[in-house]
Structure 1
């Protein structure tokens, strides 16, 4: 079997399993916390002093809240539709990340189980741990900075962390280690965009629970994805 087909087949199978597994984990870990936080988000406008439509939009906690009550805005219904769309999004995301992993495995001529695990953990550091230091996972109803600024910082952090870790672990030169360390630290020296002086009705304890649940779910997801992609890639590339 060609290398390209090995990459695609291993990514699809790993993504299906990994995406389904993380959906099940989310159903029991993060989803109940999100649903609970949404009750605070819906109650927040009622607790105010009858703001006008313009003032409400100007002080919305985040973009989702500012459009939530628009009659033309669509959102999935609770139950099968919402869970199904979540599962589809998780599976597609898992396939995309697995394609990246399988591509790296192919460039390295294949990896063993230990290397596959390390690559999975590296994905967790790049896409969850490093960005989460500045922008931890937030529940609905928690005020956050502008979406564009957060997205830009997240992308910069993920890229800098990936390049930095590549220089540190894939090169054996002192200059590469120093440059890699600087790249990893740089986004955090710049600082993530924050919304100062914002108040949220969501309890801090609930936000902390959500942050821990998301982090642990992501850790399990990346561990599983790295290992599964390695197993399937070795099997398909050996044919």
Structure 2
């Protein structure tokens, strides 16, 4: 079972990560590069980092081109395999009956790790003001945990009091509200910001759906062969 979990996660995670990387290279990254031109122009005028994004000149960062592509792809693979391990670990406890259940688990992962946190803290382009890092991280983590618990109670429990508790868990982080900057500013145009948010949302949706389907398919194939 352990080998099935690890192999399914490694294979499904790598394949989904490569797809996500392609979507980012051809869709998301060009928007980031375009936004960075506005940030660079503003820094050239004011001779200092703007919009709350301070840069450490001594810190290494990948250059545009193959370095940035390899860095992004490598990060995506590590992230995707980690997420896939979570899914295949759940499959070991509750085996999916088909790819549709894998798709459902993938959509649940998308809701937990992207969609729900993005309601309060949407992905932003470089040059956008943001609240302090630690409050944002705490709110993101709390939202992910509340969403995971809420969805589990709603869809994995049959008793209505528990389902209503799950619904309340889904709402609590958004009723409390995410940390916001005192002044919301963005160097990039609003249209570019909206394009980036839609691109991020849709590319992550595709990633999670593919990850859910592939992990369930590979896990079931391995389980069927071992029986």
Do Structure 1 and Structure 2 share a fold, with TM-score over 0.5?
yes
Within 1, Cα distance between the matches of 2:174 and 2:152?
18
Within 2, Cα distance between the matches of 1:201 and 1:168?
41
Show the counterpart of 1:201.
Answer: 187
TM-score normalised over the length of structure 2: 0.95
SS in 2 for 1:11: helix
Within 1, Cα distance between the matches of 2:64 and 2:99?
40
Q: Note if contact 2:125-2:193 (Cα within 8 Å) is conserved in structure 1.
A: yes
Structure 1 gaps of 5+ residues are 51-55
Show the counterpart of 2:203.
Answer: 217
Show the counterpart of 1:178.
Answer: 164
Within 2, Cα distance between the matches of 1:113 and 1:98?
15
Q: Note if contact 2:5-2:88 (Cα within 8 Å) is conserved in structure 1.
A: yes
**Is 1:188 aligned with 2:178?**
no
Show the counterpart of 2:27.
Answer: 29
Q: CA RMSD in A?
A: 1.3
CA shift at 1:67, angstroms?
1.9
Q: Note if contact 1:41-1:201 (Cα within 8 Å) is conserved in structure 2.
A: yes
Higher mean Cα deviation, 197-206 or 142-151?
197-206
Show the counterpart of 2:4.
Answer: 6
Show the counterpart of 2:107.
Answer: 121
Within 1, Cα distance between the matches of 2:128 and 2:97?
42
Q: Structure 2 matches for 1:64-213, cutoff 5 A?
A: 65-68=53-56, 70=57, 72-213=58-199
Structure 2 gaps of 5+ residues are none
SS in 2 for 1:67: coil
SS in 1 for 2:54: helix
Could you give the per-residue CA deviations for residues 87-118 of structure 1, whole angstroms, max 9, x where no partner exists? 00001111000000001111013431111111
Show the counterpart of 1:38.
Answer: 36
TM-score normalised over the length of structure 1: 0.91
Could you give the per-residue CA deviations for residues 159-202 of structure 1, whole angstroms, max 9, x where no partner exists? 00000000010000111111101100000011000012233221
Q: Note if contact 2:96-2:102 (Cα within 8 Å) is conserved in structure 1.
A: no
SS in 1 for 2:37: helix
Match of 2:16 among 12, 18, 22: 18
Within 1, Cα distance between the matches of 2:223 and 2:63?
42
Q: Note if contact 2:129-2:183 (Cα within 8 Å) is conserved in structure 1.
A: no
Within 2, Cα distance between the matches of 1:121 and 1:76?
32
Q: Note if contact 2:32-2:125 (Cα within 8 Å) is conserved in structure 1.
A: yes
Within 1, Cα distance between the matches of 2:59 and 2:79?
24
* Number of residue-to-residue matches in the alignment: 225
